[in-house]
Structure 1
Amino acid sequence: MPPKAGRTGRPATETKARKPRYLISDLCADLDAYLAPEQVSEVYRAYLYGAEAHAGQQRQSGEPYIYHPIAVARILAELRMDHKCLAAAILHDVLEDTGKPKSELAALFDDEVAELVDGVSKLTQIDFPSRAEAQAANFRKMMLAMTRDIRVILIKLADRLHNMRTLGVMAPEKRRRISRETLEIYAPIANRLGINSLRLELEDLGFRHLWPWRHQVLEAAVRRARQHQRELVSNVETAVRRRLHQEGIDADVFGREKHLFSIYRKMQEKAKSFKELVDVFAFRVVVERVDDCYRALGQVHNLYKPVPGKFKDYIAIPKSNGYQSLHTVLVGPQGAPIEVQIRTRDMHRIADAGIAAHWLYKNAAEGVGAKALADDWLQNLLEMQRDSGDSQEFLEHVKIDLFPDEVYVFTPKGRILVLPKGATVVDFAYAIHSDVGNTCVAARIDRRLSPLRSVLRSGQTVEIINAPGAKPNAAWLNFVVTGKARANVRGYLKNLQAQEAEALGKRMLNAELARFGLDVDSVGESVIGVYAREVHLDTPAALFAEIGLGNRLPLLVARRLAGVDGTGAQTEVPEEGSPRRLAIRGTEGMVVNLARCCRPIPGDAITGLFSPGKGIVVHRCECRNLGEFQSKRDKWLEVEWSDDPKAEFQTEIRVEVGNRRGALATIAAAIAEQGSNIEYVNSREKDGVTSTLDFTINVHSRAHLATIMRRLRQIPLVVRISRLAR
């Protein structure tokens, strides 16, 4: 039997310790609060088996390995998970790290526990060509196991959270890799399942380890802001609480500090400094009933004027992860914006627990909404994996699906569908059903006939028009945004017969060649064959099939063929004549220019736009000017830097310095020290105290630029430094 807890609920054997405790007695004390004694005993039996299996193994920190499974189980115990999930959490590394067979787990415990452990275990018996392929295959295996039992991903999230808490012992490069994976995959999954408590800590730890300096600076800025705004927060909190009490509304009112990573993300998205962000602090009002939420909203709007266009009702229309709340922004004292969230106590608990509320409140209806939404998402995952060609493509589709900035649209019967921002009619059709998406030909948006590429806005009613003989089109890949739609279209195209793909590609290429007064026959098989060999394809037929399958844009192939001189010579004319070697899929022989508005450099995430007369113009993915081309997604290209672009690239930085004699010379000398040449500098006085220096400098890569900026920050005169993008 597990050790008993004392009267206070803490283990009787506890001793004073500052370090985190990983004792089974602590876990059993937590479980006594909500599990039956025989269920606690089952978890303890799993501990005994796991401790024996991991005997002699240590974590990198030097601690016994069994500490880690216990810590994972304690995280799940905070979510009030059932005893089988907790037993699987304690055993989650047994199959992978100790060589114990799955059949032994099934015999000693049961099939349910064995399946959960197997779902979390990596594919160690298969050799993969690269780390990326191994990661994608393991992720696919885990996600498929999750579709059978959602507890698989809950164990994995708890496992990742404890690993992130103890990441400090890892080498810097491994810390960064694990943190990036956490921010790109696991924190978004926690958000998608509505488990806010896990998401916030995963994001904070990922941010802390991936960008430690940025985290430190932002944390210090929030600490200073907290001191300055303490009185304002207290006054607003008191005023709201008093007003609600006067109206007979029983409410808990408290100010809360915005999450560090959400502040950082908002600074990036809006290109603003910390000082320009006004909603670092917010307020939460928690009431008893739903009608109290709307009454409280009316009172706070009477107390402080609301900001137009900033009210969102997530109670009437919940988020895709089941989150419900009223959000509003008010003009507070001294004109300071105040963000307020109003929700019931049940909504408040579900906002933290999400899908876990299904286990936490088994006898209530509280977790049902989150579970139903999660089940819909799992069904979409099954369809995506069915239509994905390989594990890496599946991972790409899931990543797309994990970052929804949501819009809410209606079917003609009044059903609400939640789609990512930028979703089109085709995305909507596939969200209803795969067959509806495969045969859609047009739509009526608010009763007006609209094309398939129409981008949807919240509140619209969409009716899909289908035709029995219609089929998915490769061009849809240029504008669909949901993972489900992309996977369905790609899956269909990959299943086309080779002859159909070839015929389709030939027709598409002929349509583009017609712009130049040509067709496939007039260009000639020999010329097409030369181009096909240039792009590593054996025959013209293989080139046509590539176009038909959506792997190459017919417009670019047509332009290249129209200019081929029969020798297969290629030209690449980069910006200002200097060598800029870019690996650009499907654009061999095209003119490539670097955009002057954002000046991309190696290491930046980039995308390409086809521009008549300019060839391929390469922009940074965050370039503001890309917004102008959202309606022309068919002109966008996938672009990547070559492995070693041996060249220098121009970029612009802005340095704000104290207005002192010799400041420019000091900054210029520091830039030169780091092996960079200054092409242009512009100096102007800002306010008599500081001056602004804009430099155009040459760098080899983003890492080189980061080195220069770090060096400049060490100069006492420097107040602020940033990279410019016009």
Structure 2
Amino acid sequence: MTATTPSVPVDPSVLPPYVLALKERAAYLPEAQVARVLRAYEVGAHAHRGQERKSGEPYITHPIAVAGILAELGLDAETIIAAILHDTLEDTELSRADITAEFGEVVADLVDGVTKLDKMRFSNRQEADAESFRKMLLAMARDIRVILIKLADRLHNMRTLGAKDAPARRRIARETLEIYAPIAQRLGMNKFKAELQDLGFRSLHPDRYRVISERIRAALGNRREVMSKIEHALAARLAADHLPARVVGRIKSPWSIYSKMRNEHKSFAQLMDVYGFRVVVDSAMSCYMALGAVHSLYKPVDRRFKDFIAIPKANGYQSLHTVLLGPFGAPIEVQIRTAEMDSVAERGVAAHWAYKTDSGPANSAQARAREWLSALADSQAHTPSSAEFIENVKIDLFPDEVYLFTPRGDILALPRNATALDFAYAVHTDVGDHAVAARVDKKLLPLRTRLESGQLVEIITAPSAVPNPAWLEFVVTGKARTAIRQYLKHLQHEDAVDFGHRMLDRALDALGTNIDAIPTKALDRFLEEAKLRRLEELLADIALGNRMPDQVAHHLVALRGGGRATTAPHVSEKIRITGAERGVLSFGNCCHPLPGDEIVGYLSSGKGIVVHRVECPNVAEFRKSPERCVAIEWDRDVQGDYRAELRIEVINRPGVLATVAAAIAAADSNIENVEYVERDAAAATLLFAMEVKNRKHLADVIRRVRRTGVVSGAYRYPL
């Protein structure tokens, strides 16, 4: 081995104090594994020799401290060894082959995974390097121990952040609050999350942290006697009911106070005027008995009880939460849980570590974390864009869950504001794709209905139903968004290929030829030059505005032989559109074209054809790029609803808006939006956005509006 020391037994008498502390923390491991951990220290110390931290300490003190944090969680020897060596691949001459030879493939994989994460730099959640963040989450999906090492590494760095300069402290603190603390929360590691948040808050906003900390200390000084009385009363009540329990007062952290003050617009006094206690009992049944006991001592506050034992949170957290009205008129928040639940609440996936073993069932946090990571891996396989993938993950990292029941009694946890359609996709992608409506508590409701905890939801499907682009406007879960986009992209590709074929045919027709007359060799040569694999890719590129059909036609004719073709007048027929080519076509918001209007298409790169009315004021500008203008017209049979806007001048009197809206509804038009453009005592001008079938339908709406007797003018907008 090139960079490691000879393997000799470690003499405990010469070990530095920080290594002895790690040895004590790892005493739960078999003796042979402890020897491997000490050997890892030897290898790491040799590899990092001569290196120092910013504080002046030997560099090896940092990886040993990280390993100590993980040993406190009771993790396996491989994880602790990998933690000791986690910086060696990046910062020393030690190679992956060296680590594999000495400690095995598993440790080498873990060190390699953490090394890749260490190369990431986030300025904030919005500007996160999407591709790197994606790699981090996929490394987690392959082996969750990678992120446990990274979280412990981050925690120790936050504890020793004082040695860094101010800009670095702020950057690392913001990254911690916006990336790593939420991941710790999602993995159920509340103790890690709380310390990361408070250390991040202290470094990012030192003055705010100091003021709030001082006010908490002052408030606690005045409250200790009250807290002690309540604690003794709770303990006595539980003892009287023969319920062995541990009662502990809970103190809010500076970060949680600051977050609630900012997000819930509450004062410091409002937040501190709440007493918090945790009751730890011996079994789940005892939790419910303890709940009855505390409710008999102090009256519960209505609608402030939550049962996270029967319905655990998405990260595996289990507890009973209740709010009581205390003896001094202040609310008392009580959490009731077993010792096992308390361990999972504090340490999440790291509680009672059982990594990939059949010796016993994983705890609920581990099982749910693996489900989440498995879903992430599945999602990224169907999401080519890193930024889109991260957008979906952020939804999962910052949830306020609602808990819903399927008709079979299964429980699904979804983010707050989830809709019936999100529920459908959570059940199965096929259910979501064919959903038409939902029965929520046996009441028939539309798919866009927002759901609330405790509802029973049944999805109604139809084989003919398919995803709709409008669905993306109201779904909130990453799974639903990914599935809808995947379906629409498939449809878009088919539409784009068909439309691109028509555009290229028309361009070739103008040159006196057609696609069938282009030899296969010439076509293959063009595709090779353009770095395209198939003709379908070329046609889709044309339809989406990434290539100009006229330029492609000229190039193909030139490759066929006989030199580059000269431009001929465009005598071909216009391309007919049905409006159903929504993956390729979009409609200009500047003029809102309707079936029946004379129209022109403009090729916009990446968007495809944007349709405008011929009289649209922007068309003059488009004509300056004739190669991007596409001659199109409406087909005879056009289906669907199209947006139109009406400018309506009315006499300003009570009930006029309702009168006009009734006239529009009577003409079978759906109103999307209404706004006042101008208004005075005598008259007002309203702008109505609505859906109509075509130009004739809009004319019918205008006629009905003019007949109301309260309208002095009604015009299509823009004219």
TM-score, structure 1 normalization: 0.68
Distance 1:100 1:444 in 2: 61
Letter in 2 for 1:378: L
Deviation at 1:495, TM superposition (A): 4.2
Report SS of the residue matched to 2:50: coil
Deviation at 1:47, TM superposition (A): 1.8
What residue number does 2:146 align with? 152
What residue number does 1:441 align with? 436
CA separation of 1:417/1:561 partners in 2, compared to 1, >3 Å: closer, same or farther?
farther
Report SS of the residue matched to 2:250: strand
* Superimposed CA distance per residue, residues 21-61 of structure 1 (whole angstroms, 9 cap, x where no aligned partner): 7x2222112112x0011101111222222222222222222
Distance 1:192 1:126 in 2: 20
Identical amino acids, percent of aligned pairs: 52
Letter in 2 for 1:172: A
Superposed, 1:20-419 pairs within 5 Å as 23-32=18-27, 34-98=28-92, 100-122=94-116, 135-278=129-272, 280-359=274-353, 367-419=362-414
CA separation of 1:241/1:390 partners in 2, compared to 1, >3 Å: closer, same or farther?
same
Distance 2:39 2:140 in 1: 25
Contact 1:324 1:351 in 2 (8 A): yes
CA separation of 1:3/1:507 partners in 2, compared to 1, >3 Å: closer, same or farther?
same
What residue number does 1:430 align with? 425
Matched, 1:566 2:620: yes
* Superimposed CA distance per residue, residues 219-270 of structure 1 (whole angstroms, 9 cap, x where no aligned partner): 1111111011111101101111111111211111121101222222221221
Distance 1:565 1:373 in 2: 55
CA separation of 1:511/1:386 partners in 2, compared to 1, >3 Å: closer, same or farther?
closer
* Superimposed CA distance per residue, residues 573-598 of structure 1 (whole angstroms, 9 cap, x where no aligned partner): xxxxxxxxxxxxxxxxxxxxxxxxxx
CA separation of 1:381/1:51 partners in 2, compared to 1, >3 Å: closer, same or farther?
same
CA separation of 1:461/1:81 partners in 2, compared to 1, >3 Å: closer, same or farther?
same
Deviation at 1:509, TM superposition (A): 9.9
Aligned mate of 2:607, from 527, 543, 552: 543
Distance 1:127 1:402 in 2: 19
- Note the residue ranges of structure 1 that are not aligned, 5 or more in a row: 5-10, 15-20, 548-556, 570-609, 616-631, 633-726
Superposed, 1:464-543 pairs within 5 Å as 464-500=459-495, 506-507=581-582, 518-519=593-594, 522=597, 524-525=599-600, 528-529=601-602, 537-538=604-605, 542-543=606-607
Distance 1:270 1:319 in 2: 22
Distance 1:162 1:299 in 2: 42
CA separation of 1:278/1:330 partners in 2, compared to 1, >3 Å: closer, same or farther?
farther
- Note the residue ranges of structure 2 that are not aligned, 5 or more in a row: 1-8, 497-542, 544-576, 624-671, 678-688, 690-719
CA separation of 1:262/1:126 partners in 2, compared to 1, >3 Å: closer, same or farther?
closer
Distance 1:13 1:123 in 2: 30
Contact 2:592 2:612 in 1 (8 A): no
Distance 2:458 2:154 in 1: 42
Letter in 2 for 1:296: A
Contact 1:284 1:342 in 2 (8 A): yes
Distance 2:300 2:125 in 1: 51
Distance 2:589 2:199 in 1: 55
CA separation of 1:543/1:612 partners in 2, compared to 1, >3 Å: closer, same or farther?
farther
What count of residue pairs does the alignment treat as equivalent? 542
Deviation at 1:102, TM superposition (A): 2.4
> Mean Cα displacement is larger for which, 153-162 or 275-284?
275-284
Contact 1:69 1:92 in 2 (8 A): yes
Distance 2:40 2:614 in 1: 65
Deviation at 1:565, TM superposition (A): 6.5
Letter in 2 for 1:42: R
Report SS of the residue matched to 2:328: helix
Distance 2:143 2:70 in 1: 15
Contact 1:187 1:202 in 2 (8 A): yes
Report SS of the residue matched to 2:421: helix
Deviation at 1:337, TM superposition (A): 0.7
CA separation of 1:232/1:102 partners in 2, compared to 1, >3 Å: closer, same or farther?
same
Distance 1:13 1:283 in 2: 42
Letter in 2 for 1:314: F
TM-score, structure 2 normalization: 0.69
Distance 1:270 1:482 in 2: 24
Report SS of the residue matched to 1:566: helix
What residue number does 2:547 align with? none
Letter in 2 for 1:399: K
Distance 1:115 1:406 in 2: 34
Distance 2:218 2:358 in 1: 45
What residue number does 1:641 align with? none
Distance 2:445 2:590 in 1: 26
Deviation at 1:390, TM superposition (A): 2.9
What residue number does 2:695 align with? none
Distance 2:73 2:118 in 1: 30
Report SS of the residue matched to 2:26: helix
Contact 1:232 1:333 in 2 (8 A): no
CA separation of 1:134/1:398 partners in 2, compared to 1, >3 Å: closer, same or farther?
closer
Deviation at 1:614, TM superposition (A): 7.8
* Superimposed CA distance per residue, residues 192-243 of structure 1 (whole angstroms, 9 cap, x where no aligned partner): 1111221111111111112222211111111111011111101101111111
Contact 2:299 2:324 in 1 (8 A): yes
Report SS of the residue matched to 1:342: strand
Contact 1:445 1:461 in 2 (8 A): yes
CA separation of 1:116/1:514 partners in 2, compared to 1, >3 Å: closer, same or farther?
closer
Deviation at 1:432, TM superposition (A): 2.0
Contact 2:492 2:584 in 1 (8 A): no
Contact 1:256 1:283 in 2 (8 A): yes
Report SS of the residue matched to 1:334: coil
